[in-house]
Amino acid sequence: MVNDRLIQTEYSEIMQKSYIDYAMSVIVARALPDVRDGLKPVQRRTLYDMYELGIRYDKPYRKSARIVGDTMGKYHPHGDSSIYGALVVLAQDFKMGLPLVDGHGNFGSIEGDGAAAMRYTEARLKKITQEVYLQDLDKDVVNFLPNFDETEKEPEVLPVRVPNLLVNGAEGIAVGMATSIPTHNLGEVIDGVIAYMKNPDMSTEEMMEYIPGPDFPTGGIVTNKDDLKQIYSTGVGKIKLRGKVEIEKIKGGKQAIVITEIPYTMIGANIGKFLNDIYSLVETHKTNDITDISNMSSKEGIRIVVELKKGADAENVCNLLYKKTRLEDTFGVNMLAVCDGRPETLGVVPMIRHHVNFQFELATKKYTTLLKKEQDKKEIQEGLIKACDVIDLIIEILRGSKNVKDAKDCLINGNVDAIHFKSAQSREDAKQLHFTENQATAILEMRLHRLIGLEIEALKKEFDETVKNIQTYTDILENRSSMAKVIMKDLQSIKKEFATPRKTVIDNVAEAVVEEKPIEEEDVVVLLDKFAYARVIDKATYDRNKEAADSESKKIIFCKNLDKLGVFTSQGQMHLIKVLDLPMGKFRDKGIPIDNVSNYDTRKEDVLLIEALQNMKDKKILFATAAGMVKVVDGGLFDVSKRTTAATKLAEDDLVLRVGIVEEGDNVVMYSKNQYFLRIDAADIPEKKKAAVGVRGIRLEEGDSLKGVCILKPGDNPTVKVKSKSVQLGRLHVSPRDTKGVKK
C-alpha cells in the first residue's frame, strides 16, 4: 500500500530541518577551516591529492588541470572552479602568509589579474608543505574517512605541525556567519607555541610578547597596537592598516609620495580603485597639490608614485590619502573555526591550546606506531641473532625437511617428527627450539650472506639501536614532558629552516589629520551638451573657444566654482549638483552625465532648466504645467542643501512643462494641443510658495492640454509651427490670465 510508505509531518518542520542540515554542511564541510590544521576541506583535499599523486617539491611540475580533475573525481565533487580557485590562492605569496603550493605559470597578480586557465598552469607542493603539513600521513596519525562515493579514503585533517590557522589566516563566508583571521609570522607563532607548552596558564598579554600582532604578506603598518590585546582575547575586532610611504625628491625641486607597501585589504581590484580615488580627489578639487600618478609596481614589489607640485605639503597630502582612500583601511577580525565539529570564536591562546592538544594527539599516535614497528623489528632481530648461534642446526633442519611447513613447525614448536637428522643430538637440540612465527619466517627468508662475520656484527649493532629506540619511544609515550621536548625540538627545527623576517610594522599611530585649504573662488563656465554631459572650464578657456562652445552646447551657465546648480525636472523636483563635483579641464574633455553626480533619474524625468542657484537669487522662477497651471516662485527659496527637494506641487497626473526665469516686462505665451494661444503679462502671474499648486494660466477645453510655454522678452517675436501654419508669438495680443485665448 502506498499509504503505508507515506510519512505525514508538519511542512515547516521539514523546511527547518533541511535548512539546518544545509547550513551545518556549509559551515563544517565547506566554508570554515578546522582549528587543528587550519584548512578548509577543499584546501585539505587538494594538498592530499597532490601528495597522493607524488607531485613533490623535488619532482617536476604537473598540470593544474590534472590536479583539479583528480581532486574532483576522488574527494571534492563540487566543481572544478572551487578547486582551482583554492589551488591558485594556496600558491599566491601576496595572499598567503606561507604559500603551500609552488605555482608555475600565471597564477594572478597582486593587482587583481586572474590566473590563467588550469590547462596552462602547473603546480607542485612546496617543501614546507611536504615536510610540515603531510609528512607523517604514513604513520596512522590521523583518521581516514570514506570519500563521497566510498571508493577512496581521505584524511579527516592533515597532520600539520604548526598553527596554520594563525600562520596563513582564513577567510570564508558560511550561512549566518563568516571567518576572517589575519596572517601571522611563522617564527613568532612557533615561539608562542613553545612558550605556551612551557606555561599553559599564560595570559593573552604574555602571549603577545611572542606574537605581537599580525604579519601580512603585503607588509604595511598596523596603527592600533593597543587594540590588539582585546582582539586577541575575544577573537573579534578591527585592525587598522596603513600602507608604507616614502617621500622622495624628484627633478624640478618637487617631491613625490612613493607607496612601497599597501594594506592587505587593498590587494586585487582595490589597487585600481585606490588610483581612481586619487583621480577623484584631483577632479573634485579636494587637493590641487597632486600633478601626476603612476603605478610602477612589478614582480619586485609595489611602487605607486604620486607626484606633487612644487612647494606642496607632502605630509598633508599623505594624511589626505589616509583619510579619503584605502591607503588606510580596516581589517575586520572574526577568528571563527570548527572546533570538535561545531563553529567557535577563539582568542589566540585558546587557538594555540587546541593546536598543542592536537600535536600531543599526533605525537601519541606517531610514536605508538613507531614503537610497534621497533618492537616488531626487535623480535625479528632477536630471532636472527639467536639463529646465527645455532646456524648449523638450522641448516640441518632445512636439509632434513620435506617442505617449508615442516621446517617452520620445527623452528616454532620444536616438532621433529617429520625431519631427518644426521645425529640424535641434533634431534634433541631441535626439540628445544622455540622461535616465534615472525622469527621463523625471517630465518627461512634469510640470505646466506647474512652469516658473514661483519653482517652479524651489523645485525647486533642494529639490535642495540632498536632497543635504544624502543626505550626512547616508550619514554616519550609514558612521560608528557618527554613528548613536549620532542614537539618543541621539532618546532625549533621548522623555525630554523622556514621562518622569515616580519614584514608588517606594529605601532600606535595618531589618526591622520588633514588641513584642508579653502578653495579659492573663481569664475567658471558650465557647458552642458544635448546628451546631458556636463563639464567645467575656466572663463579664459571659454573666451578662447566661445564660438564653438555656443554652437555645440545645449546650455551654458556662467557661475562660480563654489556654486551649486539646480536641475529642475518635469516631475516637479529640483536636484542639486555641486559645481566642484563636475570635472574641470580642457575645452574638448568629454565631461560626465549629470545623473552621476545627482539624484536625477533619466528614465523618469526630463530636464527643464539647469541654473546656478546664485544666478536665481532675487529672480522670479516661472512654473507652468500641462494642465495649464502657472505660478512664479522667489528664486531665493531654492537655495537649499538637500540633494533633492520638491520645487512645486503637482496635481495628480500633471507634469511641469516649463521652468524659466521671468523678469519685469516679460510676457508668457501658452499654446495648447487644440491650437489655442494665450499671451499674458508675466506680472499677472501671482507669486506662490514652492508647496503651492499655482493658479490657472489658460482656460482649457475638456480633453485639451498645454503643449508649450514661451517666455517673451521685449521685442522678441519667435515663430511656432502649428500643423501647416506658422504663428508669430510676438504679434499675439496681450490678454488677461485665465482666459481661453485665440485659436489659430
Residue positions annotated with a catalytic role: 120
For 243, the grid coordinates are: 600602507
Alpha-carbon gap, residue 302 to 217, rounded angstroms: 12
Alpha-carbon gap, residue 211 to 194, rounded angstroms: 12
- For the chain, first and last CA: distance in Å? 87
Burial 497-534 (b: 16+ CB within 10 A, else e): ebbeebbbbbeeeeebebeeeeeeeeebbbbbeeebbb
For 563, the grid coordinates are: 556654486
What pairing do the DSSP bridges indicate for beta strands 505-506 and 221-222?
parallel
Using CB atoms within 10 A of its CB, is residue 143 exposed (0-12), middle (13-18) or buried (19+)? exposed
Alpha-carbon gap, residue 584 to 284, rounded angstroms: 8
Helix (H, G, I), strand (E, B) or coil at 739: strand
371 forms beta bridges with: none
Burial 295-313 (b: 16+ CB within 10 A, else e): eebeeeebebebbbeeebe
Please provide the size of the chain in residues. 744
Closest CA to 411 of 437, 386, 385, 384: 437
For 724, the grid coordinates are: 501647416
* Residue 540: partners with Cβ closer than 8 Å, 6 or more residues away: none
Closest CA to 320 of 532, 561, 512, 530: 512
- Single-letter amino acid, residue 170: A
State phi, psi for 608 to the nearest 5 degrees: -105, -30
Measured over the CA atoms of residue 275, residue 280, residue 282 and residue 287, the dihedral's sign is negative
Residue 276 near residue 321 (C-beta atoms within 8 A): no
State phi, psi for 173 to the nearest 5 degrees: -115, 115
Residue 331 near residue 224 (C-beta atoms within 8 A): no
Angle among Cα 434, 440, 443 to the nearest 5 degrees reads 120
For 597, the grid coordinates are: 553626480
For 442, the grid coordinates are: 625471517
Closest CA to 576 of 597, 596, 556: 597
423 forms beta bridges with: none
Angle among Cα 149, 151, 153 to the nearest 5 degrees reads 100
For 619, the grid coordinates are: 529672480
DSSP annotation string for 70-111:
HHHHHT--S-HHHHHHHHHHHH-TTT-SS--EEEES----TT
User: Interhelix angle for 41-53 vs 64-74, to 10°?
Assistant: 110
